[in-house]
């Protein structure tokens, strides 16, 4: 039996309060708001009785049921798979696929870890040269359909650290460097695939170059791929020789969905 390694962050509503004030509006991509109904507490008992037409004194063991109500949750919450639709309405001249258009066989793929920590710098581009050096360390080549997981070193930060939001990011050139070799799943342990929004906005203000706006994501308009963000535990993986499954919730017609991402290591 293979070892199962969980590469998924926990969706903990307590993390919403850890966002710095300028990013408070992004809480829905960190975790949902959750109303907890505990079987031994009032709300759990009340809902049980409301559905089954009984009173608290009728409860067989004095308890109701456990349930939770999730609200204020983005389809891009936590560890999630981006469908091509997230990057644009058309990919390579055809209608962009949604998360429910993607087959499970496309989401269970051989994996490679490209460890760019020796070269990547905060809020700076991860270059094709860095990727080549990291790929050489795996002793492998990228094959068509591979999942390429970028280990940036962001795991050393928590959400209360400013460095968490200053991730090294992928550009158009570095993204195309991977997809042109055959990668169809592009994962990262960072909060985002691209450079931080503030960096991209500042560059645009200084240069007026609109091609640099979200260019890592926009690169898949040329060659389709699925981007997976907010992964964790990449350090527990070998650099190659494993399978990885990305299992998103089946949200009809959506541009993304939270996923349970699991590596299968012999």
Token output for 7? 């590469």
Cα pseudo-dihedral 205, 215, 228, 167, rounded to 10 = -40
Residue of 38, 28, 98 whose CA lies nearest to 70: 28
Write down the pLDDT at residue 89: 98
Residue of 43, 84, 87, 91 whose CA lies nearest to 65: 43
**Residues 44, 46, 49, 55, CA torsion sign:** positive
What proportion of the chain, given as a percentage, has pLDDT over 90?
99
Write down the pLDDT at residue 243: 98
Q: Give me the average pLDDT of each 10-residue run along the chain (266 residues).
A: 96 97 96 98 98 97 98 98 98 96 98 98 98 98 98 96 97 98 98 97 96 97 97 98 98 98 97
Write down the pLDDT at residue 140: 98
Are 258 and 79 in contact by the 8 Å Cβ rule? The answer is: yes
Write down the pLDDT at residue 190: 98
What structural domains and CATH numbers belong to the chain?
Answer: 33-71 (no CATH), 80-265 (3.50.30.50)
User: Hunting for tokens 């919730």 — which residue is that?
Assistant: 249
Write down the pLDDT at residue 196: 98
Average pLDDT, the chain: 97
Write down the pLDDT at residue 263: 98
Token output for 41? 């507490």
How far, CA to CA in Å, does 254 sit from each of 54, 92, 156, 226, 249? Answer: 40, 19, 31, 13, 10
How far, CA to CA in Å, does 178 sit from each of 37, 105, 117, 173? Answer: 45, 20, 17, 9
Q: Indicate the pTM of the whole model.
A: 0.96
Q: Using DSSP bridges, classify how beta strands 125-126 and 169-170 pair: parallel, antiparallel or unpaired.
A: parallel
Write down the pLDDT at residue 39: 98
Write down the pLDDT at residue 30: 97
Rounded-to-integer distance, Cα 138 and Cα 84, Å = 28
Task: Please report which helix (H) or strand (E) contains residue 115, including its range.
Answer: strand 108-115
Write down the pLDDT at residue 34: 98
Write down the pLDDT at residue 185: 98
Residues whose CB falls within 8 Å of the CB of residue 256, separated by 6 or more in sequence, listed in order: 75, 76, 80, 81, 82, 83, 86, 99, 248
Write down the pLDDT at residue 149: 99
């Amino acid at each position: 039996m293979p070892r199962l390694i969980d590469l998924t962050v926990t969706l903990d509503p307590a993390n919403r309060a850890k966002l710095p004030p300028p990013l408070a509006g992004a809480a829905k991509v960190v975790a949902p708001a959750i109303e907890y109904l505990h079987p031994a507490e009032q709300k759990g008992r009340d809902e049980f009785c409301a559905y089954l037409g009984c009173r608290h004194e009728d409860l067989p063991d004095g308890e109701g049921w456990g349930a939770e109500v999730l609200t204020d949750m983005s389809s891009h919450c936590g560890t999630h798979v981006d469908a091509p639709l997230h990057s644009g309405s058309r990919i390579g001249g055809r209608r962009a696929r949604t998360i429910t258009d993607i087959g499970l066989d496309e989401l269970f793929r051989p994996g490679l870890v490209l460890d760019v920590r020796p070269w990547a710098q905060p809020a700076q581009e991860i270059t094709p040269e860095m990727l080549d050096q990291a790929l050489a360390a795996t002793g492998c080549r990228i094959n068509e359909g591979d999942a390429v997981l970028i280990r940036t070193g962001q795991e050393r930060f928590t959400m209360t650290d400013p460095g968490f939001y200053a991730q090294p990011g992928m550009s158009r050139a570095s993204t195309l460097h991977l997809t042109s070799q055959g990668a169809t799943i592009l994962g990262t342990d960072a909060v985002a695939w691209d450079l931080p929004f503030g960096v991209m906005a500042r560059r645009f203000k200084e240069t007026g170059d609109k091609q640099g706006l979200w260019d890592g994501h926009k690169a898949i308009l040329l060659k389709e791929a699925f981007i997976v963000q907010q992964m964790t535990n990449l350090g527990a993986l070998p650099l190659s020789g494993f399978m990885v499954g990305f299992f998103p919730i089946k949200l009809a017609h959506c541009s993304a969905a939270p996923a349970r991402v699991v590596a299968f290591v012999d």
